Structure formats: structure tokens, C-alpha cells
Amino acid sequence: MNYKLQSFFNIVAFLTLLTVHIPSSGYAAVEPVRLTLETAVARALRYNRNLISDTLDLDNSRLNMEAAQNTFDIKVNPLSSINYTSNPEEEQSIWRVGGLISKKFTSGVILNLEPSIEKETDEYGAGVGFSLAIPLIRGLGKDINLDSVYASEYALASSDRTLHQKKVNTILNTVTTVYTLIREQHLVSLYTEQLKHLKVHLKSAIVKEKSGIAKSMDIYRAEIRIKDIQESLSLARERVAEIADRLKDIVALPLDSPIYVEAPQEYTLITMKREQAVKIALKQRIESFQSKADIAEAMRREKIARHNTLPELKLVSTYTRRGRSSDFGDVLFFDEDRWSIGLTSSTDLARSEEKTAWAKSRLAVKRENLKFESSQQNIIREVRTVLNSLEKSEERIALRREQLIQATGKQRLAHIKFQYNEADNFDLIESQTQVERARVNLMSDEINYIINGYRLRAVMGTLLAYSPETKP
């Protein structure tokens, strides 16, 4: 069943003309920016400065991943050197031009090709060198060599999830601010109407006091109530200006720009069971995705740390084909062959640091599992808290409706008695205050119920669909 905010019916026409900004006299009125709830959310997602900054962080993570992937591209490095020495016995000049072409494979194998041409005094030389380095124990395998790539992919996915969570928070913040602003604007309208009626009542009391029908105390009561309403109206206007500026900051509008906001004021009572809400939240919440990814990354890092405890042993093979001649034209007729093959190792026999790192990585896995359990419990607790708030709000709304009916009846009775001089204005003013309080309370509870409906979607992970950019 749908319910409209009952306290809104008498002030909709007035609110359509209400804007947050009042232009200075002597200047043309500026057309206010109309913000519906949908346009405010869309604008916040597109122009919010904090989200733009977080998007730049995501782009930075993407560049880091590309840099890690570039490690396995073919690298071409030019090499050159020129030296000149002089002494009393001889002068000597040496120059060398060449390059280094290298390629690292995901298996850990490194292949180098190094062509060069050189001149030393009156002799020329040229050659082509090949080298191959193959890790035999540590460093062999795709998982260990793609460590930086996998780590950067994890960082990118984490940045993407962080951005998504901040988008959800921005949507929820926008919705809360819009409805809070609407509530305060309605309070301004309500207090304005109350002030108008009280001033009419004050004039009537003054006339009756001069006629001897009313007492001076009736005038004092009306004046005191007018002062109270004026103070409440002033505070409400201050809150309107403050909340409007907050909303402008969220949607990236100039602070001096007038705005007019509107949002649906209807709601449907939520009847979802707790078990169903919790099940959806545990499946859809971005924290669940992140916690699982953290565990997977910690286990991957533990596997890398365990691999690093192995001794390092490489097979290095080189082959060079060279030629030397005093005639530059003959230098390319290679007539020298050089080759070598050997085993190299630079491993600490105890490998204490590596073993300590492995032990720490195992602790990190346990820590991430504990964080996952805590995250699951936090999600369940948040869902239960919001559902409890919705249930309490529903009860309060029903109570506020009854209070408004009772206060309205009391006001009518007090008004009739006052008209026939059977009572002074004390009962009338008190009943009007009770009606006003009941309307404000009902409006606040109904708006809180609407906001809590969005909060429930947020804690369930359904407020904004998540489509991962990449998977770690």
C-alpha cells in the first residue's frame, strides 16, 4: 500500500515557488537549477569532485598494470661509447656503436642479442652476441615471473571496488541531503503559515482585549508563541541554506547558484524478511568481493614467498661471432667464435630473510581470513540495524498519525470554545502547538523511512549494480 506524506498536501503549491536562493534587490532573478532526485544523483556520479579524484586513482592503477605487463615486451637499447686518450708516446681513439635487444619470457628465461661495431686505433671490429639465462630452481615458472602483473591487477580491481563503494556512498549522501533539504523547506513553509495565523490571532486578541472580552494574558501568550515560531523559522532557514550548500557541493554546482529540488514523496512499506535481506547482502556487498580477493591475493603472495625460499641457480649460455680487420670492408666476415656455458648462484645458504618473509605471508593469510569473517558479521549487523530502524519508523509513523488525529480534534474543540468565549486562548495556542508538533514529527518519520529504504538497498549491495572492470 502506498502512502503520501499527509503533511505535504497543504503546502505543495507554495513549495513549487520556493527556491533556496533569493536574489538581491536591483538584480534580475536567476533561474534556479531544477534538481529532481534522479538528476541530482546522476550529476553527483558524473561531476562530484571526490569521485573524479578517485577515478584518477583508478587510471593510475591501470597505468601501473600496463607498466608491469610491459616487462615482457621486447626491449631495444642502443649502446655507444667514444673515448680518446693522448700521451707522449701515442694517441688512441676508441669508439663503439651497437645495441642490446632483450626479451624476458613469462617462464623466467631471458634472451639477449647484442650486435656491435667498434674501432680501436687503426683496427675495426664487429660482432653479434647471443646470451641465454635460464633459472633452474628459483625464478622458474609463470606464477613467480608474473608476480608484478598479478599484483597490479589486484590493485586495479581493488581500486575499482573502492570507487564503486564511494559511488554508493555518494548516491546515499545525495539522497539523504535531497530529502533533508525538502524536509527543512517544508518546515519553513509550515512555520510561515503558523506565523501568519498567529499574527491574525494576535490582532483578534488585541481587539477583544480592548472590548473587555479577552485578557492581557491572551495577548502575551500569542506574542510569546509568535517569538517561538519566529525563532524556529529563522533556524529552519539557516538549515535550508546550509543543506543547500552541501547539496551543491555534492553535485558540483556553484554555491551562489539557486536550486529547486523535488523528489518522490511516496513510499511502500518494506516487508522483506531478515534472512532474505542478509542472504542478498552477503552475496552482493562490495566488501564481500573485496574480502575474497584479499584472501586470494594473500594466498598467492604466500605461494610466492614459499617459492623464494628455494635456492637460486641459473644456467647461463653465451655465444659470440666476431671479426676484426684493419679494413672496414672486411670486418663483417666473421671468423672468430666464442661460446661459454655455466651455472651461477648467489643464494644465502641459510635463506633466513626468505624464510621469515614466508612465515609472515602465512600470518597474512590467517589475518585476511579473520578480516573476512569480521566483514561478514559487519554486513549482517548493518542489515539488521537498518531493518530494525525501518520497523521502528513504521511503528512511529502509525503513532504519529494517531497523534495528529487527536491533536487536530483537540484543536477544533479549543477553537469552538474560544469562538464562544468559553475558554481563553491558552487551550487554543497549546492545541495549535500540538498539531504543529505532530505534523513535523510525522513528516520527519516518513522522510526518515524513505531514506532508510535507500540505506537498506545500500547495505544489501543493490543500490548500484557492480560490474567489475577486471578480475584479480
pLDDT computed for residue 216 by the predictor: 78
Cα 313 vs. chain centroid, distance in angstroms? Answer: 46
- What is the C-alpha to C-alpha distance for residues 5 and 179, in angstroms, rounded to an integer? 12
> Tens-digit pLDDT profile for the chain (472 aa)?
344 444 433 333 333 334 444 444 444 457 889 999 999 999 999 999 999 999 999 999 999 999 999 999 999 998 877 665 555 566 566 778 888 999 999 999 999 999 888 877 777 788 889 999 999 999 999 999 999 999 999 999 999 999 999 999 999 999 999 999 999 998 998 888 888 887 877 787 787 777 776 677 877 877 888 898 899 899 999 999 999 999 999 999 999 999 999 999 888 888 889 999 999 999 999 999 999 999 999 999 999 999 999 999 999 999 988 877 767 666 666 677 889 999 988 877 888 899 999 999 999 999 999 999 999 999 999 999 999 999 999 999 999 999 889 888 888 887 787 777 666 666 777 777 788 888 888 989 999 999 999 999 999 999 998 877 544 3
pLDDT computed for residue 267 by the predictor: 87
Cβ(157)–Cβ(293) under 8 Å? yes
Residue 217 grid coordinates: 494574558
Neighbours of 57 (CB within 10 A): 12
Cα–Cα nearest to 436, from 203, 197, 261: 197
3-class SS letters over the chain = CEEECHHHCCCHHHHCCCCCCCCCCCCCCCCCEEEEHHHHHHHHHHHCHHHHHHHHHHHHHHHHHHHHHHHHCCEEEEEEEEEEEECCCCEEEEEEEEEEEEEECCCCCEEEEEEEEEEECCEEEEEEEEEEEEECCCCCCHHHHCHHHHHHHHHHHHHHHHHHHHHHHHHHHHHHHHHHHHHHHHHHHHHHHHHHHHHHHHHHHHHHHHHCCCCHHHHHHHHHHHHHHHHHHHHHHHHHHHHHHHHHHHCCCCCCCCEEEECCCEEECCCCCHHHHHHHHHHHCHHHHHHHHHHHHHHHHHHHHHHCCCCCCEEEEEEEEEEEECCHHHCCCCCEEEEEEEEECCCCCCCHHHHHHHHHHHHHHHHHHHHHHHHHHHHHHHHHHHHHHHHHHHHHHHHHHHHHHHHHHHHHHHHHHHHCCCCCHHHHHHHHHHHHHHHHHHHHHHHHHHHHHHHHHHHHCCCCCCCCCCCC
> Where do the domains of the chain lie, and which CATH numbers do they carry?
2-70+145-307+352-460 (1.20.1600.10), 76-140+312-344 (no CATH)
